[in-house]
Structure 1
Amino acid sequence: MEETLEVIQARHRKEQRDLQSRITSKKKNATKKTRKGVNDECAALERDLKEHQQLELDALNRNKDVDEQEGEEEPNGTGHRTIEHEESTNSQNDTATDVNHITDRLKDAKVSFDLPPAKQPSSEPTAQTQEGSGGGKKRNRQKDRLARRAAEREMAAEAAEQEAQNMTDHRGIERTALERTFSANGLVEHEIQPDGHCLFSAVADQLAQRKIPISTTKEGDETQQPPYRVVRKVATAYMEEHADDFAPFLEELLESYVPKIRDTAEWGGQLELLALASAYRVEIKVVQNGRTETIRPGTESEIGGEGEDRTIWLAYYRHGYGLGEHYNSLRKKG
């Protein structure tokens, strides 16, 4: 039974919702290195789905026009259809071919649209009567093609679903390992906003918990700045003062690297953690997936304050956040 316009439109809306859900999932699981490729892939999938749906609507409209024309046509006395009707049929075939190409691209991308089951193309002739041939019947090739492609899409959807079930849940594995370490050390997680400043914001939160001043200078204007900005300045100031310890590990000149860390939302990493441990004279423990890394001050610095709690805890995520790597602060329970 041929789908009506309302049925097709309802199916199109569901396909769009399903695709949007899958795109959201892809973007959440993307890392910093794969984000551009994932965005390009998602844009291509949205474009292909839009073209595919438009072609289906065009095919439906042309099919209706053909039915109306067939009801009005009269045999021309030669047993053949008119030239206008043949041109309309060719247009339908061209449209069906375009639908096939778009559908193949969607199938290769393994996108699930959760389409309703489609009947397999039948080898029996359709009920359409061939005009001018004495009441004989002919197959509707366009409907056969659409039915065959619908069946192929359904098979591709099932394959994609099976593939998703077999994929490793990196996010779940990471979360389980982190929570095990949190529990063993009596820690609770304090969420930090994933805005590019997360490492410095998490360090600032940890210093505040231990009542360690975040500013290492006596400049009064620093107290008016966001805590993460002050921590960024402390890290870069220490790196400039100890350039020989940091410059060899950079892929660019220290003179250009320092302003990016100090004045922008550039992500911090291992070098910044070492600079902060040395500048604040603290021990930094970073809980990761399955292990805990300890970062101690450099050789010229010692952990300050005998008897004080000078160990700060951070949680490092590689898969848990859609924007990529992320740090949270870990506070002591109670």
Structure 2
Amino acid sequence: MEELLATHRKEQKDLQARITQKKKSATKKTRRGINQECDMLQRELSERHRGEIAELKGEPAPPVDGLEELDLNGSEEDRDQKDQTDGSQQPLSMDNSPDTSSATSDSSAPSPRPKKPNRQKARLARRAAEQAAQSAVAAEEAAKQTDHRGNEKEAMDGVFKRLGLKQVEINPDGHCLYSAIAYQLEMLGLGLKPDPKRIILEKPTQSRIDTVASPQHDGYRAVRAVTADFINEHQDDFVPFMEEPVDQYTRKIKLTAEWGGQLELLAIARAYGVEINVIQGDGRIEKIEGDTQEYDDEERSKRVIWLAYYRHTYGLGEHYNALMK
């Protein structure tokens, strides 16, 4: 008997899983038919189980009663779903025919349908929750990261104060190195035209120098041209450090907004006969000397240019500002 009951429990569990799957896949049009089919399957299984138990006990088979075991093992959720679908709480008749009087009553006073969930609102809510979670993760990661910008500014300000330097903001447009140099050459009284003994200027370069309206705003055009001319005249000193032909390299310097770096600073220092001191973001000072031995001490002290080189403070990337005593 125990073995048979265990078999019955397994068959009942399997049938319940089938019924649940059928009801989940039902549409509005097929729900009534599927509910009736599920009721029939449950009734047939219950009748078979009663017959097998009676046969094992040697008793006569019990009479068929379509209502005795109908969906007794079904879940409350399934019964509620069926009740909402059928529109009434009354049991089915033996031949599963619809109750005419109930249908008439339902047509005169229809029961309210359950409100469907708003899928768009649900999607928006999920998206908002995901964005909030991502923002929280990003904020947590940001809190763990090093404040490069804050550290850089703190180090820079300390050096400025120690050396008595005042920062002059230069527009971060790709010309910042050349604009900072042009501004300081003018402020130091050195001018944008270098000593002819140091470099022979090409005619276009001389024209650029002569047409500068404001050293701080368009002086970079003159400094770029002088830098390119000096590299062209002293190619042996610069070509080993280039990754492209010298004519392409100097053309970018003269005609584009290509950023300047170490090679350009060296060419500027030598072309104008100045010493360039670059304050780094960690407080170090890099000195680039431009052969100023021909000048006396007083003149050399006037031919010193200061730059502040930032890596993290400005949104566009690396940037140079001018510094004045």
Task: Calculate the TM-score normalised by the size of structure 1.
Answer: 0.55
Aligned match of 1:132 in 64, 69, 85? 85
State whether residues 227 and 264 of structure 2, in contact with CA within 8 Å, keep that contact through their aligned partners in structure 1.
Answer: yes
The aligned counterpart of 2:147 is 169
- Cα shift at 1:306: 3.8
Q: CA offsets, 1:254-303, max 9 Å, x none?
A: 121111101211111100100111111111000111211000125xx636
Asked if residue 233 in structure 1 is aligned to residue 220 in structure 2, the reply is no
The aligned counterpart of 1:194 is 172
Aligned match of 2:162 in 184, 193, 207? 184
- Cα shift at 1:143: 9.6
Distance 1:185 1:297 in 2: 21
Aligned match of 2:281 in 277, 289, 292? 289
- Cα shift at 1:139: 11
The aligned counterpart of 1:244 is 236
Aligned match of 1:269 in 261, 267, 278? 261
Bigger-Rg structure (1/2):
2
The aligned counterpart of 1:321 is 314
The aligned counterpart of 1:223 is 210
- Cα shift at 1:204: 0.8
The aligned counterpart of 2:249 is 257
Report the 3-state secondary structure (helix = DSSP H, G, I; strand = E; otherwise coil) of the residue aligned with 1:329.
strand
Distance 1:156 1:329 in 2: 40
Which piece of structure 1 moves more, 238-247 or 305-314? 305-314
Question: After the TM superposition, which residues 1-334 of structure 1 pair with which residues of structure 2 at under 5 Å, given as runs?
Answer: 78=33, 131-133=84-86, 153-216=131-194, 221=207, 222-225=209-212, 226-290=218-282, 291-297=284-290, 302=293, 304=295, 306-308=297-299, 309-332=302-325
Distance 1:135 1:319 in 2: 72
Distance 1:303 1:189 in 2: 29
Which piece of structure 1 moves more, 152-161 or 278-287? 152-161
Label 1:132 to 1:177 Cα distance change in 2 as closer, same or farther (>3 A). Answer: same
Unaligned runs of 5+ in 1: 1-72, 81-123
State whether residues 284 and 295 of structure 1, in contact with CA within 8 Å, keep that contact through their aligned partners in structure 2.
Answer: yes
Report the 3-state secondary structure (helix = DSSP H, G, I; strand = E; otherwise coil) of the residue aligned with 2:179.
helix
Identity in percent: 45
Distance 2:88 2:270 in 1: 93
Greater relative contact order (CA < 8 Å, ≥ 6 in sequence): 1
Label 1:181 to 1:76 Cα distance change in 2 as closer, same or farther (>3 A). Answer: closer
Report the 3-state secondary structure (helix = DSSP H, G, I; strand = E; otherwise coil) of the residue aligned with 1:328.
strand
Report the 3-state secondary structure (helix = DSSP H, G, I; strand = E; otherwise coil) of the residue aligned with 2:247.
helix
Unaligned runs of 5+ in 2: 1-27, 36-75, 90-113, 213-217
State whether residues 314 and 330 of structure 1, in contact with CA within 8 Å, keep that contact through their aligned partners in structure 2.
Answer: yes
CA RMSD of aligned residues (A): 3.6
State whether residues 277 and 284 of structure 1, in contact with CA within 8 Å, keep that contact through their aligned partners in structure 2.
Answer: yes
Distance 1:285 1:303 in 2: 19
Distance 2:318 2:29 in 1: 71
Label 1:317 to 1:77 Cα distance change in 2 as closer, same or farther (>3 A). Answer: closer
Label 1:326 to 1:150 Cα distance change in 2 as closer, same or farther (>3 A). Answer: closer
State whether residues 79 and 132 of structure 1, in contact with CA within 8 Å, keep that contact through their aligned partners in structure 2.
Answer: no
Letter in 2 for 1:164: A
Label 1:310 to 1:303 Cα distance change in 2 as closer, same or farther (>3 A). Answer: farther
Which piece of structure 1 moves more, 217-226 or 250-259? 217-226
How many residues end up aligned between the 2 structures?
Answer: 214
Task: Calculate the TM-score normalised by the size of structure 2.
Answer: 0.57
